[in-house]
Amino acid sequence: MEIPVLIEEVPGKGFVATAPALGWSAEGPTSDAAVANLRAETGRRIAAASQVVWIDLPIPHAATVGARPDGAHPLGKWAGTQDPNDPAVQEWRKLVEEHRQLVDAADAVTKAP
């Protein structure tokens, strides 16, 4: 089973890895150590439990938020309506591409040997 884990640096103290779905966290001097400590803590807790089960939670409100009687999404009428010749759309696409290039360049610097 995979669960999302949030890793945060704690200035001067290392890192904390938190599993929001479980409500558990663990600390470590590095992000890898914090995750390893969280994994070990999770193993200890599960081993100590008499059983681990899955349950379905009925959440009727979440299933109906934004729902319409015809089942269509409330924003569906605008899907695919961007005119590629619209100057605002062209500017938006240009800005998105510039941002993507900046992010890629930053990633290349961080991943450089």
* Domain coordinates in residue numbering, the chain: 6-48, 81-113
Note the pLDDT tens digit of each residue in 40-70. 998 888 888 867 777 877 766 555 555 666 6
Most confident range, picked from 24-33, 63-72, 84-93: 24-33
Mean pLDDT over 98-111 rounds to 85
pLDDT band at 73 (very low <50, low <70, confident <90, very high): confident
pLDDT band at 5 (very low <50, low <70, confident <90, very high): very high
At 3 the three-state DSSP class reads coil
